[in-house]
Amino acid sequence: MNHTPSSSTAPARGNHFGRILVIAGHAFTQLVRMKVFYFMAVFALIAIASNFLSLPQHAGPESMGAQVLNQIKSWSLGAMTLFSVVLSIVATALLLPKDIEDRTLYTILAKPVPRFDYLAGKLLGVILLVLVSLLMMDALMVGALQLRTSMVMSEQVGMVKSLGWGDDAIESLKQEIRANGSNWSLQGAVLAVFLRAAVMAALAILISTFSTSTLFTTIVSFLMYFIGYFQADARDVYLHGGEAGQGAVARIGSLLVSLVIPDFQLFNVIDAAIEGQAVPLVAMGKLCFVGIYYTLFYLFVSWFVFADKEF
Amino acid sequence: MASEISAVEISHLSKDFRTHLRKPALRAVDDVSLRIMPGEVYGLIGPNGSGKSTTMKALLGLVAPTSGKCSIFGKDSMQVDSRNDVGFLPENPYFYKHLTGQETLRFYGKLCGLGGRELDARIAELLKLVDLEGARDRRVGGYSKGMLQRIGLAQALIQEPRLVILDEPTAGVDPVGSRQIRDLIMTLRDRGITVFLCSHLLEQVQEVCDHVGIIFQGRMIKEGRLEDLIAIEDQTEIVIQNGDEQLVARISELVSGTPGASLVRTGKPRTTLERLFLQSIR
C-alpha cells in the first residue's frame, strides 16, 4: 500500500511540518485536558518531603549539608524519571487505540494527511508534554535546591567556623556544597531523563501500531524499558562467557540487538549528577545522539508498520 | 459528459479479510464496479455486512483493495492527494470530546492547510449551514447524536471538497435530526457537490439520491438511475387537487372505455408518518 505523498500536481494545501505541528498541538491539548498535570502536585510534595527525610548516614557532620542536597536531587530526579517514563508510555499507548476506537482516525486519514505526519504529530505531542512536565519539575527542583543550598551553606559554615576550621578548609567545604547544589551537570541529568522518556514514547508508538490494546502496549513498553537496562550486561555475558560468543554470527547478532534495543545504562550519568560529579560534554553528546537515533528509528519503523495498516 | 472525469470510479473492486490463519479469507466485497459523475447523489444500499462500508473505506484508502482499483476525480485512492477533494463522515462518529464545535472544525481545517481569516470565515459559514452556531463553544462531548452527525458533516466540508462520502449519515438520529441531515444533503446537491452515501434506510435514500446501487453479500446486484429502477413502466399516476367523486367517476368511465387499460386504484394520497411527526412537533 502506498501512502507516501504523490508527486502529482494536486491542489494540496499545507505541508508536512505544518500538519505534524497541528496534530502535535492537538495531542498535547488532549493530554493536558485529561488533567495529566495533576501529578505535579505529587512531585511538589516529593520535592518538599525530600528536605525533611533523614536517612542513616556514615559521614561526619560536615558532610550533612551535601547529603541533604543529594537527597533532594536523588528524590527529585527519581520522581522525574518515574513520571516522565510513565507519562510517555501511558500517554502514547492511549492515543492511537482511542482514535481507532472512536473512529476519529478515519476522519483524520480521510483528509489529505499522510500517515507519517499523523504518527510524527502524535509522538511530538507526547514529547512536548513530557518536556513541559520536566521543565516544570526542573524549576521546582532547582527552586528547592537553591533555597536549601543557601541554608546549608550558612549552617555548615557557621558550624565549621565554631570548630575552628581554616579559611582554605571552609572554602573547600563551600565548593563541595556548591557542587552538590544546582548546576549544569544537574541540567544535563534532566536532559538525560527527557531523552530516555522520548525514546520510550517512540517505542510505545511503535508497539501501539501493531498492538490491539492500550494495556498490551503499556506492558510491553515497560518490559522493553527493563530489557534496555539489562541488554548491555546480557550481551557482555554472552560475548565473553564462552565459545558461543566468539563467533562472527554472535557478534553480528549482538550488534543488531543493540541497534534495536537501547542500552539505558548509558543514562546512568544521572547518578553521577546526583553525586555532585561533573557530567562530561562528550557523554552528553553521546546521549543526545543515542536518544535522537532511537527516537527516529522507532518512528520510522512505526511508519513502516502503520502505512500498511487497515482500519 | 463522456469526456468528464468521474467523481468516483470503482473498477472491479474485491476485498478479502483474513479472519483466521487456517480459515479461508472472507470476501467482503466481490468485483464491485460503479461510476459516479460530478454533481450526482449516489446511494449505496444493502443490509448490514453487505460490504457498503468496506467499499467506502477502499475508496478512502483506509483499506487496500485485494484486486481492482478506486479513483477520486481521476486520482488513485491510495494516493494521499486524492483526499484533497473528499470529505468523509464515518458511521457513528465520535470526535475529540475535549474540543468545542469550533475547535473541532479548526483542527480539521488546519489539517487541510487552511488558516487565518479564511478558516475563521469557513468555520462560521459551516456552523451556520449545519445549524450549530449556538453550540460553537460547547464541548463536543456534550453534543447529542444529531449534533454530532451535523458537526461531522461540517468537518467533512471544511476544505470545500467536491465529493462528500457519508456512511449511514442518519443512523441512530431522531426524526428531526434525520430531516436536517437530509436537507443538508439536498443543499449540497444544489451546490453541485457530489455525494456518495450508504445506508440501509431505503426511504431516506429514495428521497435524496438520484442514482442507487444495491449491494448484497459483497456483490453489486443492481445499479442505475433511481427513477429508472423504481418506475412501474406500465402504470401512470394522476394526482388531482379538489377533484370530486363525479370527476373520479368520469375518469373511471374513460379508462374502462379504453381497450387494454384498467383503473388500478383511486383514493386519497397519504402523507408520511415523518411529515406528520414533524408538523406535530413544530
Reference A209, options A223, A220, A198, A222; nearest CA is A220
How many residues are recorded in chain B? 282
Reference A299, options A7, A20, A15; nearest CA is A20
Do residues B90 and A103 make contact, with C-beta atoms less than 8 angstroms apart? yes
Of A8, A19, A33, which is closest to B81 when you measure between CB atoms? A8
Between CA B143 and CA A226 the distance in angstroms is: 43
Give residue B2's pLDDT.
47
Of A1, A22, A310, which is closest to B111 when you measure between CB atoms? A22
How many residues are recorded in chain A? 311
Give residue A13's pLDDT.
66
Do residues B226 and B212 make contact, with C-beta atoms less than 8 angstroms apart? yes
Q: Is B152 on the interface with A (CB under 8 A)?
A: yes
Phi, psi of B171 (to 5 degrees): -65, 130
DSSP3 helix / strand / coil % (chain B, rounded to 5): 40, 25, 40
Q: Is B83 on the interface with A (CB under 8 A)?
A: yes
DSSP letters spanning A115-157: HHHHHHHHHHHHHHHHHHHHHHHHHHHHHHHHHHHHHHHHHHH
- Radius of gyration in angstroms for the set of CA atoms belonging to chain B, rounded to a whole number: 22
* β-pairing verdict for B163-167 and B194-199: parallel
At the second CATH level, the architecture of B8-231+275-280 is: 3-Layer(aba) Sandwich (3.40)
Put residue B224 in one of left, alpha, beta given phi > 0 → left and psi -120 to 50 → alpha: left
Give the distance, in angstroms, between the CA of residue A4 and the centroid of all CA atoms in the same chain: 31
Give residue A221's pLDDT.
93
* β-pairing verdict for B26-36 and B8-17: antiparallel
Is ipTM over 0.95?
no
Residues of B in contact with A11 (CB under 8 A): 84
C-alpha grid cell, residue A230? 539489562
Residues of B in contact with A306 (CB under 8 A): none
Q: Is B139 on the interface with A (CB under 8 A)?
A: no
Of A10, A106, A308, which is closest to B81 when you measure between CB atoms? A10
Between CA A258 and CA A263 the distance in angstroms is: 7
Domain boundaries in chain B? 8-231+275-280, 232-274
Q: For residue A189, what is the enclosing H or E element?
A: helix A184-210
Q: What's the DSSP call for residue B193? A: -
* β-pairing verdict for B194-199 and B67-72: unpaired
A82 by Cβ neighbours in 10 Å (0-12 / 13-18 / 19+) ranks as middle
Each residue's pLDDT expressed in tens, for chain A with a length of 311 residues: 444 333 333 455 668 889 999 999 999 999 998 887 787 777 777 777 776 665 555 556 556 667 778 888 888 888 899 989 999 999 999 888 888 888 899 999 999 999 999 999 999 999 999 999 999 989 988 988 888 888 888 888 888 888 787 888 888 888 888 777 777 888 999 999 999 999 999 999 999 998 878 899 999 999 999 888 887 777 777 666 655 556 777 777 777 777 888 888 888 888 887 777 778 888 889 999 999 999 999 999 999 999 988 88
Distance from CA of B158 to the nearest CA of A (A): 10
Residues of A in contact with B29 (CB under 8 A): none
Q: Is B29 on the interface with A (CB under 8 A)?
A: no
- Most A CBs within 10 Å: which of B111, B151, B196, as the mutation test of the A interface? B111
Give residue A115's pLDDT.
94
pLDDT tens profile B63-122: 999 999 999 999 999 998 899 999 999 888 788 999 999 999 999 999 999 988 999 999
The angle formed by the CA atoms of residues A129, A198 and A287, to the nearest 5 degrees, is 135
Q: What's the DSSP call for residue B89? A: E
Phi, psi of A261 (to 5 degrees): -110, 125
A240 by Cβ neighbours in 10 Å (0-12 / 13-18 / 19+) ranks as exposed
pTM recorded for the entire structure: 0.84
C-alpha grid cell, residue B201? 434506510
Give residue B218's pLDDT.
92
* Residue ranges in chain B whose pLDDT is less than 70: 1-3, 273-274, 282
Residues of B in contact with A10 (CB under 8 A): 75, 81-82, 84
Which residues are paired to B194 by β-bridges?
A: B163
Q: Do A110 and B75 touch (CB under 8 A)?
A: no
* β-pairing verdict for B86-89 and B211-216: unpaired
Reference A68, options A88, A39, A90, A48; nearest CA is A48
Q: Which amino acid is at B43?
A: G
B7-31 in b/e form (b: 16+ CB < 10 A) is bbbbeebbbbeeeeeeeeeebbbbe
Between CA A117 and CA A14 the distance in angstroms is: 12
A292-304 in b/e form (b: 16+ CB < 10 A) is eebbebbbebbbe
Q: Is A240 on the interface with B (CB under 8 A)?
A: no
